[in-house]
Structure 1
Amino acid sequence: MDMEELRKEKLERLESALTCKEPDRVPILVFNDVFCGKYSGYTAQEIYFDYEKWKDATLNVAKNFNFDYIFTLNGLEGMFLFASFIEKAPEVAANMRFVTGPYHQILEDTYTRWPGIELKEDVHPQFIGKEIMKKEEYDKFIEAPIKFMHEVALPRICKNLANPGSMEYNTTLTRLGAEATNYGNATLQLIMELKNIGYPFFPMAHSYAPLDFLGDFLRDIKNVILDLYRDPETVKGAIEAITSHMIKTGTISGTIPPEVKEMFGTEIVWCFYPLHLTEYLKPELYNEYYWPSLLKVFKETIKAGLLPFVLFEGSHDTHLETLQSIPKHSIAGMFEKTDPRKVKEVIGDRMCIMYGPPNSLLIGSTPEKVHDWTRELLVDMKDDGGFILFPGVDAAGIAKDARPENIKAMIDAVEKYGKY
């Protein structure tokens, strides 16, 4: 088949599933990073610090496995940068959705640890997080969240931004902007090379749950949960203050030029949301402090023509009823620890559900067992459409040590049992 015809076939398959329709078969959507490196003979350090090796490894995997979509996450969550720059410098912020290894070297951020620097050369990078904003600083944040990020938070998060206005500070920002251009160019080259071998691409915006922003980047998770008990009204004020910025972050980054949409042949623009606090909050706290602001952000990004692409990290079992309030057929969600059968039982065909073999199975099992596990999942989930196979659900992507023969067994099962 001609590569352009193949790309269009995969794109149509994905678009149908994402909008809760029946495609010709269940699509396979893959996120990964270090797996590409190991499969292609590279260390994690090489994948995260050398863009050419990252591209080469991704293309190698894309050619050798019959996925419908592949996206390599060669960085860690960077919303603290993205949200800080998106309003005034969207062209730079567009390449700061994730903190890359080179960004870490330039900024010397205290949030992350990287292979070959703080970690051994062949392990996955780590997001550590820490308390950046003190409890007594909530009012200052509420008054002007983005100003607080620039004047207080970023200098504390990044060692090389510790002295605003200094030569080191200005040099660091200059180097960061140049590296953002390098990363953006490398990403575009990879997308175009994937397109040339028959892979589609969806433009991607980025946003965040307001309470997660406070917990991940400012107060740390344990402190923000304590704050909900100690000073709930102040936390509510901070949530309200940052919510409008999370809406802007999504809508500004989701403003895709018509020529870009035309180039990729789709009107669908993903807006990526990783949800982190869900399993830490009992339903009363979730329903009062977490869900209302997130739902508001969802609705506004949907109104702007974007499709929220949500990683429901952790367990979402006790919060499934809240998903009934999402506009029908308007989001796609990957569930890490919640059985998709339960999701479908509670919300029906309201949203596109993504799920697949966990890494524990892809790493430690046999091809026969992976094939059977995938077949059983497809039998239970594919009816009526709106389902995408997403392997490696327990790590938001395929892990380094997943066995290639198990991945191929999964693909074989989809090709045999995933047809409509």
Structure 2
Amino acid sequence: MDAAAVYREKLDRLEAVINGKEPDRVPVTAMMSLFHAHYSGYKATETIFDFAKNKEAALKVARDFDFDSLLVLTGLEATFMSMAFMHSGPDLVPTARFMEGRYHDILKDVYTKWPGRELAEDSHPQFIGKEILKVEEYGQFTEDPSTFMNRVALPRICGALSDPGSPESIAALARYGSALAASGAAMGDLVSEFAGCGIPTFPMAFSYSPLDVLGDFLRNINNLVLDCYRHPDEVKKAAEAITPLLIESARITGAVPPEMQKALGTNVVECFFPLHLNEYLNPKLYEEFYWPYLRKVFEAVIDMGQTPYVFFEGRHDAHLETLLDLPKGKIIAVFDKTDPRKVRDVLGDHVILSSGPPNSLLIGGTPQKVDDYMKSMLDDCKEGGLLIFPGVDGGISGEAKPENVRAVIDAVKKYGTY
């Protein structure tokens, strides 16, 4: 088949699962940050800071591995940036959603560390939490979260913006804007090249859990958990105040131009959510402080016609039943440590299940062990539709063995047909 026919076949397979149907076989959906670099003989610094090398490495993986979809992410979470621009620069929100190494060089943010800068050249970039919002500032934040993020938080987060209105700050913002445009163009080019390889890409919107915004970017996780006991009303008011902004984030980033939808050949828009605090909260705290606000965002995103694509990081076992509050078959759920069999036992096909082998197996296992793992999981979980996500704990590791990644695809073709 030519690339266009392969593209259509893979897109049909993916859309079938998202629409609650069983396709010809289970699709394999891959995400990676450094696997493509190492597979192509590059260090982390080369693909993170060089568009051409990143593209070359990504296309080599696209051609050598028969994935049904492929996402290459070289950035880290930066919802704090997109929230700051929500009202003053909404056109920047889609590209400001991630912190790239280039942006870090310009902005001097305190959250992230990068290979060749603070880390060794072939290290994975790191996100480091920090207290930005002081406990006595909850009221100021709740009154106007966007203004607080723009005028108070950003100067504390980004060294280059520490003196708002100064020539240094204005110059940094100008350079940042240029870097956003360059990264956006490079990503668009890569998506087009993937299509030429027969690999479809869904438009991707972005949102976040309200409590995770507080924990990840403002209070730090440890402080926030304590705040739930010591300052519960302030935490709830802050989460409530953030909720409309996160709904607006999904609306802005998910506004796909008709010409793009036509080029991609799909009406599906996925909305990415990474969940972090879920593992740290007992069911009482989760259902009081976390779930009510996240549920509002989920429901609004679903009402927009988008499909939440949710990473349930850590162990989500204690909170699975809350997902029955949502409409059936409307979210794609990737579970980091929760056994997919337990998900099936508790939820059946209420969510679109995405799972796969952990990176420990892809790094330290053998093709035969991968094959055994995949056969067991597919036999137990493929009924009703399933998406395979290799390296379920964060995407395919840069240290994964290529032969083990191929074994995932081979196993799906053997045991994942309907």
| Structure 1 length-normalised TM | 0.99
Letter matched to residue 302 of structure 2: I
Q: CA deviation at 1:96?
A: 1.5
| d(CA) in 1 for partners of 2:403, 2:362 | 9
1:1-400 mapped onto 2 (5 Å cutoff): 1-385=1-385, 387-394=386-393, 396-400=394-398
Q: CA deviation at 1:123?
A: 0.8
| d(CA) in 2 for partners of 1:86, 1:362 | 39
Q: Is this contact kept in 1: 2:75–2:100, CA < 8 A?
A: yes
Q: CA deviation at 1:393?
A: 1.1
Q: CA deviation at 1:47?
A: 1.2
Show the counterpart of 2:414. 416
Q: CA deviation at 1:356?
A: 0.4
| d(CA) in 2 for partners of 1:261, 1:84 | 28
Q: Is this contact kept in 2: 1:107–1:160, CA < 8 A?
A: yes
Q: Is this contact kept in 2: 1:35–1:398, CA < 8 A?
A: yes
Q: Is this contact kept in 2: 1:92–1:181, CA < 8 A?
A: no
Q: Is this contact kept in 2: 1:205–1:253, CA < 8 A?
A: yes
Letter matched to residue 133 of structure 1: L
Q: CA deviation at 1:359?
A: 0.5
Q: CA deviation at 1:253?
A: 1.1
The DSSP-based 3-state class of the residue aligned with 2:148 is helix
Letter matched to residue 359 of structure 2: N
Give the percent of matched residue pairs that are identical in Structure 1 and Structure 2.
53
Of 108-117 and 76-85, the range deviating more from structure 2: 76-85
| d(CA) in 2 for partners of 1:205, 1:260 | 14
The DSSP-based 3-state class of the residue aligned with 2:119 is coil
Aligned residue pairs, count: 418
Q: CA deviation at 1:109?
A: 0.2
| d(CA) in 1 for partners of 2:188, 2:364 | 35
Q: Structure 2 stretches of 5 or more lacking a match?
A: none
Show the counterpart of 2:403. 405
| d(CA) in 1 for partners of 2:260, 2:140 | 39
Q: CA deviation at 1:410?
A: 1.2
The DSSP-based 3-state class of the residue aligned with 2:96 is coil
| d(CA) in 1 for partners of 2:219, 2:395 | 27
Q: Is this contact kept in 1: 2:341–2:381, CA < 8 A?
A: yes
| d(CA) in 2 for partners of 1:397, 1:153 | 30
Letter matched to residue 388 of structure 2: L
Letter matched to residue 340 of structure 1: P
Q: CA deviation at 1:105?
A: 0.2
CA deviation profile, 1:35-92 (whole Å, cap 9, x unmatched): 1000001100111111111111111011000100000111000111112213442332
| d(CA) in 1 for partners of 2:186, 2:246 | 27
| d(CA) in 1 for partners of 2:237, 2:86 | 22
**Structure 1 runs (4+) greater than 4 angstroms displaced:** none
Q: Is this contact kept in 1: 2:86–2:245, CA < 8 A?
A: no
Q: CA deviation at 1:372?
A: 1.1
Q: Is this contact kept in 2: 1:90–1:253, CA < 8 A?
A: no
The DSSP-based 3-state class of the residue aligned with 1:94 is helix
Q: Is this contact kept in 2: 1:87–1:249, CA < 8 A?
A: no
The DSSP-based 3-state class of the residue aligned with 2:266 is coil
CA deviation profile, 1:166-215 (whole Å, cap 9, x unmatched): 00110011001000000000000000000011010100100000000000
Letter matched to residue 416 of structure 2: G
Letter matched to residue 363 of structure 1: I
Q: Is this contact kept in 2: 1:86–1:253, CA < 8 A?
A: no
Aligned CA RMSD, in angstroms, stands at: 0.8
| d(CA) in 2 for partners of 1:341, 1:83 | 37
Letter matched to residue 256 of structure 1: V
| d(CA) in 2 for partners of 1:383, 1:248 | 35
Q: CA deviation at 1:93?
A: 2.1
Letter matched to residue 412 of structure 1: D
Q: Is this contact kept in 1: 2:209–2:293, CA < 8 A?
A: yes
The DSSP-based 3-state class of the residue aligned with 2:95 is coil
| d(CA) in 2 for partners of 1:366, 1:20 | 33
| d(CA) in 2 for partners of 1:92, 1:55 | 23
Q: CA deviation at 1:251?
A: 1.3
Of 113-122 and 363-372, the range deviating more from structure 2: 363-372
| d(CA) in 2 for partners of 1:265, 1:59 | 21
| d(CA) in 1 for partners of 2:129, 2:18 | 33
CA deviation profile, 1:241-268 (whole Å, cap 9, x unmatched): 1111111111121111111111101110
Q: CA deviation at 1:231?
A: 0.9
Q: Is this contact kept in 1: 2:206–2:249, CA < 8 A?
A: yes
| d(CA) in 2 for partners of 1:38, 1:363 | 13
| d(CA) in 1 for partners of 2:97, 2:175 | 17
Q: CA deviation at 1:282?
A: 0.2
Q: CA deviation at 1:381?
A: 0.7
Letter matched to residue 209 of structure 2: A
